[in-house]
Structure 1
Amino acid sequence: MKFKTAKDVISYLYALPHLHPKNDLSFIKKVLQELGNPQDKVKTLHVTGTNGKGSTSYYLSNLLKKAGLKTGLFVSPYILEFNERIQINGQNIPNEELVEVANQVELAIEKIRRTESDFSLVTFEYEVAMAFLYFDQKDCDYAVIEVGIGGQHDKTNVIDPEASIITTIGLDHEKIIGPTIKDIAQEKSGIIKQKKPVVVGNIPSEVLSIIQAKASQEKAKLYRLGEDFKIDDDGNYQFESYKFKFMPRPKVENYDIALAVTTFLLLKIDLTSSMIQQAIDETVIPGRYQIINQQPTIILDGAHNVQAMQNLLTFLHQTKNYRKIKILITIMKDKDILDVFGLFDQRDEVFLTTIPYVRAAKKEDFPDEIIAKYSYFEDYQTAFSKLRDSLQKDDILLVTGSFYLVSAILKFERCSNESQKH
């Protein structure tokens, strides 16, 4: 046995390389074959998209759970603990079972190394293998699988899902799957499979033909948001003879709901209208428009690219009866920093910070005009505490720009609350 604790597993995973020299699926396929191809033994649903894939995955898994089905969920990134990445029926994989499946994956790798001495997995491949093995061993009825990056070459793309979902297509991770939006669309279309339905959200008109061509090639029936199913700003949803009313949310969140519900309905699983509405309204998505305080309102959202930030700020600026919006933000230095900051309203009070993470922008990474315009706090905890304490009843504080910052603030708040109890 190589691993004894969950900490051992996680430390080992993050010491592994992140990319192979060649970008294909041969490594993950080989280890899954050695494990008995667990990915083929559970019905799956595959979700990709520039934004919204995590939210859509959570909504869809909660619908399946509500229908009484044992449902696995594989998502990234995690917010509070690594175990969030692999869940069954909303419960994170326990530490002892994380250790168990990791040791089984390691044993499979050791067997392969008997004939291929240099065989190894990258971090994400190891995580994917653990997830599929866990879902199979726990006899899941379904597993909702969120793509890591892209689609066609993503390490999760070893399944023949019951349905595929493409939430949105925009510019992100251009260096890996770009550089153009057409390249990104082509990559994401790779999850469309032979004669399996594909449900798509807001796809830009210049790349819609790429998705349509791939669906036609695979004889996969295409269901488009706004054409085949609809949802309005008030949460009114319609698909074929189905009609539901959901609680109003940010427009982009409504779109994710519509994608999840449409996919669920295509599976022909028996669930009453009221239970469908209940499943959606009960779904809590960590770090995605997560409200942790009311009056004053404190919102955490990991929006980390131009498309996500634009959707978030548009909704926030339409909010009625607020006095001020204060925004605490850090951003990864490889993102389009100027484009993101160009979305803020003149009335927004924006404060910059950073976190102890190698990709996070420090003061010197922000453009001069951004540093000249906004206050910068080296310590995110100090920044958050000062802003929180300065809020009036009708103010809104938004923490955004990175899931890493959202995670750090949630942990800080949890520690603060626990210390106050004692």
Structure 2
Amino acid sequence: MKFTNAQDVISYLYSLPNLHAKNDLSYIKTVLKELGNPQNKVKTIHITGTNGKGSTSYYLSNLLKKAGQRTGLFVSPYIYEFNERIQLNNKNISDKDLVQVANLVEKAIEKIKEQDPKFSLVTFEYEVAMAFVYFSLKNCDYAVIEVGIGAEHDKTNVIVPEVSVITTIGLDHEKIIGPTIEDIAQEKSGIIKQNRPLVLGDITKQVLPIVEAKAHKLHSPIYLLGRDFTVESDSKIKCQINKKTYVLDLRPKVESYDIAVSLQAFLLLHLDLSTEKIQEAIDSTRIPGRYHLLSHAPMVILDGAHNIQAMQNLLEFVHAQKKKLNGKLRVLITMMKDKDIEEVFSLFDPDDEIVLTTIPYPRAAKLADFPKNIRSNYLYQVNWQDAFDELQNKSKNNDILLVTGSFYLVGAVLEMEGIDASPRN
């Protein structure tokens, strides 16, 4: 098989299964070996976390680019187009390059099948292989690699990074890497590598000993937020690292943690970048689908929060804004049916006006997928565009309209509004 256009590549990727019968790294290692182990030809930073790993990846990528490094970025999910998944110097992979690397991966698979006819890749393995091939072909100095799910068994965990990062540890994907938060901490600790520094974000005391034990065993130096470096947010964000203070534009509190973590990781690379340029790089970073302010009066906010921790952080910020404005909060939400829907909905205030919707995506919840008490309490509109228009039209200047629960819904709204969601710097 030979791909001729990007849409063929994307359609093929989504036709592949999501999981193998056995959850290990043998398949991805086999195909990477056939490709000449491109993951070993680029310096990497590996990032995991229940929340914040995407934001941290973008901040770190921008810092590296500002320091004159040819920088690759592998993230998920995409907001606007599939090509966002693989970036070079903040530019999405071109359709031409996407086709080229997909054909190289496919050629390697066909070669392997000569000896092992049953060999195949799942969707994420294929994407990981394409990313590493692309970064190698483009002679990247560094590549920032965001984990898909977990860490130890994640298909990206085939690298020995310059720095490993764990942003947060909370409940998400419990059926895959849980069920307990301790299990999740153990899985995410799989990102730690022998003698390589580890940067930790807002890690709870409940699971910190699990992570620290793994790091000590592997002689991995630890840099912990709140102990080894700090961040404060008042009228500005102030990060203090190595007795030096970096003053940055104010963002929501949870974003300040991601900024501090990315800055600490960057400084461990000992690249030459002035304080002024560091601040410029962070202040100019825009995270696709995170706290995206679409309009001011009424305030329309788009955010792809899709688990308890992310939604808690988001609603703390949004409810504080609502109080300042003395208005009403309206929420348009869909979620993937495998998420903790009931727990997420318990975070809303009784006077929040919530409309359920869906999107044309296989994992997206339809009406029957929402728990019975949620179905009976809230209006459901199958057409998210109509629901968005109605909520926006009825909102007054001091109200807030929040679109959340899924990055795919956020991306659909941005596309409807004709807004390019790709990062800027």
TM-score bin (small chain) = over 0.9
Unmatched runs of 5 consecutive residues or more in structure 2: 421-425
1:270 is displaced (CA, Å) by: 1.0
Cα distance change, pair 322–6 in 1 and its aligned pair in 2 (3 A): farther
Query: What is the SS of the residue equivalent to 1:230?
Result: strand
2:276 maps to which of 270, 274, 277? 274
Structure 1 gaps, min length 5: 417-422
AA matched with 2:316: T
Aligned-partner Cα distance in 2 for 1:177–1:364: 26
Counterpart in 2 of 1:89? 89
Structure 1 segment 395-410 matched on structure 2, within 5 A: 395-410=399-414
Deviations 1:174-220 (A, max 9, x none): 11111111111111000101111100111121211110011001100
Conserved 8 A contact 2:63-2:282:
yes
**Counterparts of 1:244 and 1:363 in 2: how far apart (Å)?**
47
What is the rounded CA distance, in whole Å, between the counterparts of 2:304 and 2:126 in structure 1? 25
Q: Would you say 1:364 and 2:373 are equivalent positions? A: no
Equivalent positions of 1:117-196 (< 5 A) are 117-196=117-196
Give the match's secondary structure for 2:331.
strand
Deviant stretches of 4+, over 6 Å: none
Matched residues in 2 for 1:390 and 1:280: separation? 36
Contact in 1 for aligned 2:75/2:84 (Cα 8 Å): yes
The AA in structure 1 aligned to 2:183 is: D
Residue range with higher mean Cα deviation, 45-54 or 235-244: 235-244
Q: CA deviation at 1:322?
A: 4.4
Q: Sort the Cα spacing of 1:50 and 1:272 in 2 relative to 1 into closer, same or farther, 3 A.
A: same
The 3-state SS of whatever aligns with 2:293 is strand
User: Is the partner of 2:344 in helix, strand or coil?
Assistant: helix
Shift of 1:358: 2.5
**Which residue in 1 is equivalent to 2:423?**
none
How far apart in 2 are the matches of 1:129 and 1:256?
Answer: 27
Amino acid at match of 2:182: K
1:286-316 residue CA offsets vs partner (Å, 9 max, x unmatched)? 1111112222221110000111100110111
Q: Is 1:243 the counterpart of 2:253 in the alignment? A: no
Would you say the 8 A contact 2:325–2:399 is kept in 1?
A: no
How many residues align structurally? 416
- Name 1:419's counterpart in structure 2: none
Query: 1:210-232 CA distances to partner (integer Å, 9 max, x unpaired)?
Result: 10011001100111111111111
SS of 1:318 mapped into structure 2: helix
1:248-397 equivalent positions in 2, closer than 5 A: 248-319=250-321, 320-397=324-401
Q: Distance in 2 between matches of 1:367 and 1:32?
A: 42
Question: Any idea what SS the aligned residue of 1:414 has?
Answer: coil
SS in 2 for 1:326: strand
2:229 maps to which residue?
Answer: 229
Q: Deviations over 1:83-118 (max 9, x none)?
A: 000000110000011000100111111111111111
Counterpart AA for 2:112: I
Kindly provide the CA deviation profile for residues 334-353 of structure 1, in whole angstroms up to 9, marking residues without a partner as x.
22222111111123222111
For residues 351 and 232 of structure 2, the distance between their equivalents in structure 1, rounded to whole angstroms, comes to 28
2:416 equivalent in structure 1: 412
The percent identity for this pair of structures is 64
Give 1:315's aligned amino acid: F
Q: 1:204 aligned to 2:190?
A: no
The separation in 2 between residues aligned to 1:362 and 1:107, in whole angstroms, is 39
CA deviations 1:147-177 (Å, max 9, x no partner) are: 0000011000000000000011111111111
